[in-house]
């Protein structure tokens, strides 16, 4: 059985949702809202992430999954201090090393248009409502924790929820309440804007699948029911139920881009939504009207709230009420045969002492003693006889002893429980301390291992890198070189440029994924004379002057004393500016140089086997192998390419024409289908237009293809 913690705005989740989780999942719900989680199976705790007791739940339970319900879900406006609650939840989840965290967010976070800068780079997000901005901040914090702590975070952007409408804080609950009471509703968007709703049952089924899946990764998904509806359709259904209903549209901007069907969730988790809630909207509204106002403000609810808010006052209320009740019972039934052998006052004293302790037990004994004294006086006994006759003291003594003894036993048990709780807290603190020490030892062990493996004399790591660089295609070496350097150097701003024979330009052949949109495809040697002068001399360039736009490190790779490749590191952390780091960078560049020279020599020796005689056209076997490597590089984000199918089959003519207009890094080859193709490396749909002009003027016909054939 897997334990999951549900916290946040849990009042949105209803019995249908929890029932769909199945019997193999146990729910522990933590929310300060008293109305949350009623009727569900599982434990409920009346405190949220802001409470100090919240952290203790992670000590008591071994949570497999944590579910945080955002206050912006289902058309909400957010919770008080929501970001702080989310931060506390994620911190505790990271500390307890839970398997995954599921964030139930809102599609409202996607209600923006991207702000595009020069070169097509997305600079930011333009939101139309402050609500969308705040919902987006919740997801931004999730991305931050996923990046910095390694938590597996799955964000589900929910549309509106439907099923049980007893919660007026939910979207449909608010709409139904206004329609029923005021005969007027306000819908947030335009009449023809899309409206989507999913059932609690479908949501529970998806959560169960996510909890059961162990091979997934962090990601964000937009939920959809698979059905297309509009706000106008919702208004039409409600107008049929309430003919006098007036519908007003707020006409906010709606720019949310979402699929009609959740293909991503179906592919990853096999989830298929089943319910079309718009078909059941009329029945939902009728059920809401029947149940509206039931049990609101009742005497039982008021008394229950009073018991929870003033337990100390209730003790004294019980003391007085039960006293008068016991006196009434004694007065009206005291003459009965059976009641002559039962002392109602003594029963009252024992009850109060056992339930509330010593103080209340003594008070009950005093009240009963006063009542007995008054009874003696009303019976005609003189108080002096009562005082001087010791035998008359016995009932009073028994009352006081009964109240004292039962109260003492109650207090003793309470103190024992309190002591056991304090002892438990002490043991828990010790356990937490030892667990932190253990975690620190594990982290130190990993850090030491990391330092050992990162040391320049770590032959095991060098041997592993040499094995991965053992390829005959330069493109395969470029791919492995980027991945190896990112891993060993712990840096994701690496780029490799090839340098032509004239050494006037450097052409980008591979780079880290996050640098693809930021780097130029070609750089002029004259624009970075100091860098290339240092590299050509065989030294490693280091940007000590912090020149803007220049890389932090650069190192050259030579073939027969000619510069053929330059490896750049564009960004570095403060601890990566030392000599050890630069030496490690030079060692890795040396390994790449050895591998690339071996590959170039092999390509030169097998040139007749790889190319058709007298042309630059690569034979099908080698060309398809190279194209496969280019696709892998594109999938892993280190390079990109455009595949062009040529309209001619004349290899000599194609080679002669294209050799004058393409770069040295581009490749002409024959595909497995017998047609001629051109691979434009480090090109994309935007940059292809520059090559397209030259192709159009060459007289060759062509078509852009996604794959051969």
Contacts of 382 (CB under 8 A, 6+ apart): none
Give residue 286's Cα distance to chain centre: 37
Tell me the DSSP string of 274-315.
---TTTTHHHHHHHHHHHTTTTSS-HHHHHHHHHHH-HHHHH
Q: Is 527 exposed, middle or buried (0-12, 13-18, 19+ CB in 10 A)?
A: exposed
Residue 346's nearest CA partner among 412, 413, 397 is: 397
459-605 is classed CATH 3.30.450.40: yes
Half-sphere exposure of 373 (CA within 13 A, CB side): 13
Q: Is 179 exposed, middle or buried (0-12, 13-18, 19+ CB in 10 A)?
A: buried
Residue 209's nearest CA partner among 389, 20, 41 is: 20
Residues of the chain with CATH 3.30.70.270: 612-705
What is the reported pLDDT for 295? 46
What is the reported pLDDT for 220? 92
Residues of the chain with CATH 3.30.450.40: 459-605
Is the Cβ–Cβ distance between 66 and 93 less than 8 Å?
yes
Give residue 82's Cα distance to chain centre: 14
Spatial separation of the C-alpha atoms in residues 100 and 116, rounded to whole Å: 33
What is the reported pLDDT for 440? 74
Would you state the structure tokens that stand for residue 324, as one six-digit string? 């008068």
Among all chains, which residue has been given the structure tokens 């390419």? Answer: 641
The CATH code belonging to domain 612-705 is: 3.30.70.270
What is the reported pLDDT for 457? 47
Contacts of 66 (CB under 8 A, 6+ apart): 4, 5, 7, 89, 93, 98, 100, 101, 102
Residue 101's nearest CA partner among 206, 223, 6 is: 6
CATH class, domain 2-162+198-227+255-275, is alpha beta
Would you state the structure tokens that stand for residue 317, as one six-digit string? 């209320």
* Partners of residue 113 on adjacent β-strands: 126
**Sign of the four-CA dihedral 493, 496, 497, 499:** positive
What is the reported pLDDT for 33? 78
DSSP H or E stretch at residue 50: none
Is the Cβ–Cβ distance between 579 and 461 less than 8 Å?
no
pLDDT along the chain (709 residues), means of 10: 89 85 87 70 83 86 92 89 93 92 93 74 79 91 90 93 69 89 91 92 93 90 91 92 91 84 90 89 87 57 56 77 86 64 83 89 90 81 75 84 91 89 81 77 73 56 75 86 88 90 85 86 86 90 86 91 91 85 89 88 80 88 88 84 88 86 84 89 78 79 84
């Amino acid at each position: 059985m897997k334990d999951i913690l549900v916290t946040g705005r849990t009042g949105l989740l209803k019995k249908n949702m929890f029932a769909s989780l199945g019997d193999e999942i146990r729910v522990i719900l933590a929310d300060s809202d008293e109305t949350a989680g009623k009727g569900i199976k599982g434990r409920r705790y009346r405190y949220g992430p802001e409470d100090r007791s919240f952290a203790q739940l992670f000590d008591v339970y071994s949570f497999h999954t944590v579910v945080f319900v955002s206050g912006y879900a289902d058309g909400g406006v957010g919770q008080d201090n929501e970001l702080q609650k989310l931060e506390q939840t994620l911190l505790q989840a990271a500390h307890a090393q839970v398997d995954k965290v599921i964030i139930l967010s809102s599609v409202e976070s996607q209600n923006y248009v991207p702000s595009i800068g020069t070169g097509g780079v997305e600079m930011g997000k333009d939101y139309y409502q402050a609500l969308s901005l705040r919902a987006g901040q919740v997801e931004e914090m999730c991305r931050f924790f996923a990046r910095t702590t390694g938590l597996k975070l799955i964000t589900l952007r929910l549309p509106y929820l439907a099923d049980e409408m007893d919660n007026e804080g939910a979207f449909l609950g608010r709409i139904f309440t206004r329609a029923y009471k005021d005969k007027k509703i306000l819908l947030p968007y335009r009449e023809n804007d899309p409206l989507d709703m999913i059932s609690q049952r479908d949501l529970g089924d998806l959560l169960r699948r996510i909890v059961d899946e162990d091979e997934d990764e962090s990601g964000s998904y937009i939920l959809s029911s698979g059905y297309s509806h509009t706000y106008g359709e919702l208004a039409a259904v409600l107008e049929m139920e309430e003919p006098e209903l007036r519908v007003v549209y707020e006409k906010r901007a709606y720019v949310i881009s979402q699929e009609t069907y959740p293909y991503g969730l179906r592919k990853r988790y096999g989830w298929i939504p089943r319910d079309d809630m718009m078909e059941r909207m009329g029945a939902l509204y009728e059920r809401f009207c029947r149940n509206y106002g039931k049990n609101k403000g009742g005497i039982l609810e008021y008394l229950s709230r009073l018991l929870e808010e003033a337990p100390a006052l209730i003790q004294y209320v019980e003391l007085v009420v039960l006293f008068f009740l016991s006196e009434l019972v004694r007065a009206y039934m005291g003459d009965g045969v059976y009641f002559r052998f039962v002392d109602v006052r003594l029963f009252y004293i024992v009850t109060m002492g056992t339930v509330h302790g010593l103080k209340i037990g003594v008070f009950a004994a005093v009240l009963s003693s006063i009542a007995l004294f008054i009874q003696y006086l009303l019976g005609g006994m003189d108080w002096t006889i009562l005082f001087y006759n010791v035998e008359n003291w016995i009932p009073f003594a028994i009352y006081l002893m009964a109240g004292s003894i039962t109260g003492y036993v109650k207090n003793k048990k309470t103190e024992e429980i309190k002591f056991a709780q304090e002892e438990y807290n002490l043991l828990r603190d010790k356990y937490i301390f030892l667990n932190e020490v253990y975690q620190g030892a594990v982290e130190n062990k990993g850090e030491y291992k990391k330092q050992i493996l990162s040391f320049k004399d770590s032959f095991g790591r060098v041997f592993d890198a040499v094995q991965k660089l053992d390829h005959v295609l330069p493109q395969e070496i470029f791919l492995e070189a980027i991945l190896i350097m990112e891993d060993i150097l712990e840096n994701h701003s690496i780029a490799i440029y090839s340098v032509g024979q004239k050494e006037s330009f450097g052409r980008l052949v591979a780079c880290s994924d996050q640098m693809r949109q930021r780097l130029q495809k070609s750089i002029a040697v004259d624009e970075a004379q100091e860098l290339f002068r240092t590299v050509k001399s065989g030294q490693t360039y280091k940007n000590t002057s912090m020149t803007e736009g220049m890389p932090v490190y650069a190192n050259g790779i030579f073939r027969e004393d000619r510069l053929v490749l330059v490896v750049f590191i564009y960004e570095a952390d403060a601890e990566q500016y030392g000599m050890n780091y630069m030496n490690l960078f030079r060692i890795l560049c040396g390994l790449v140089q050895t591998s690339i020279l071996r590959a170039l020599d092999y390509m030169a020796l097998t040139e007749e086997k790889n190319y058709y005689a007298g042309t630059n056209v690569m034979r099908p076997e080698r060309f398809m192998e190279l194209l496969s490597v280019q696709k892998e590089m594109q999938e892993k984000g280190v390079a990109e390419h455009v595949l062009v199918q040529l309209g001619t089959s004349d290899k000599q003519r194609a080679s002669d024409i294209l050799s004058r207009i393409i770069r040295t890094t581009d490749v002409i080859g024959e595909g497995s289908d017998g047609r001629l193709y051109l691979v434009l490396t480090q090109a994309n749909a935007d940059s292809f237009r520059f090559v397209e002009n030259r192709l159009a003027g060459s007289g060759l016909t062509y078509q852009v293809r996604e794959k051969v054939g």
